[in-house]
């Protein structure tokens, strides 16, 4: 039986020419107990550490939600390989104040357009003049104070492969640093 890390590495490899295969949905819970969901870009997957990373803005709702409740869920579907991964994760967040080297690493890897998204005003605040282009700060070499890198530590995986008859479903659970897997009826 293959480990989920090997399966995910293989899915990423097979879909490397499709940018959308790097997008996954991240569900969090807000302070009212309501589920919230959005798409983010996977910037890194470490099969050794069981972690995924994405970058974000500390002024966004997801930052407050993950601070309040670090447990979150990912749903990631690879259309080409017809595989779904549902990952149960715990988030750890780094900002320029907690780990400048890590934040600089991801900031330097962004295109000018990618950086610009962090240089507008506060996310979700009202845009005063929608007909005018958004003004951005000019200095994009310096990591903004509100930039953050979110590391998601995976501790359970539900894997579903729609290819083949029967379909394949496996559950993986990490207990005391050891992974245990079980074959399930899809």
Task: Closer to ligand FMN by CB, 61 or 160: give it.
Answer: 61
**Which CB, 70 or 123, lies closer to ligand FMN?**
123
**Smaller CB separation from ligand FMN, 7 or 150:** 150
Restricting to residues 24-63, which ones interact with ligand FMN according to CB under 6 A? 36, 38-41, 54-57, 60-62
20 or 183, CB closer to ligand FMN? Answer: 20
Measured CA to CA, the distance from residue 174 to residue 186 in angstroms comes to 21
Alpha-carbon span 81 to 158, nearest angstrom:
16
Q: Which of residues 98-137 bind ligand FMN (CB under 6 A)?
A: 123-124
Q: Is 23 a binder of ligand FMN (CB under 6 A)?
A: yes
Q: How far is the CB of 36 from ligand FMN (least distance, A)?
A: 6
Nearer to ligand FMN, 114 or 168 (CB): 114
Strand 44-46 to 83-94 pairing: unpaired
Site residues for ligand FMN, 61-90, by CB under 6 A, read 61-62
Q: How far is the CB of 185 from ligand FMN (least distance, A)?
A: 33
C-beta of 61: minimal distance to ligand FMN in Å?
4
Residues in contact with ligand FMN by the rule CB under 6 A: 23, 36, 38-41, 54-57, 60-62, 123-124
């Amino acid at each position: 039986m293959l480990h989920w890390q090997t399966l995910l590495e293989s899915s990423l490899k097979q879909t490397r020419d499709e940018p959308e295969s790097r997008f996954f949905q991240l569900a969090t819970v807000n302070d009212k107990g309501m589920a919230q969901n959005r798409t983010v870009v996977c910037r890194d997957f470490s099969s050794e550490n069981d972690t995924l990373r994405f970058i974000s803005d500390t002024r966004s709702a997801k930052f407050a939600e993950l601070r309040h409740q670090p447990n979150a869920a990912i749903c990631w579907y690879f259309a080409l390989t017809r595989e779904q991964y549902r990952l149960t994760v715990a988030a750890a967040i780094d900002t320029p104040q907690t780990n400048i080297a890590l934040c600089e690493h991801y900031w330097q890897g962004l295109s000018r357009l990618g950086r610009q998204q962090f240089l507008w005003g506060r996310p979700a605040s009202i845009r005063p003049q929608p007909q005018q282009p958004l003004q951005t700060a000019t200095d994009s070499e310096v990591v903004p104070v509100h930039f953050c890198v979110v590391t998601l530590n995976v501790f359970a995986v539900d894997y579903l492969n729609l290819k083949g008859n029967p379909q394949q479903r496996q559950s993986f659970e990490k207990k005391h640093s050891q992974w245990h897997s079980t074959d399930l009826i899809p």
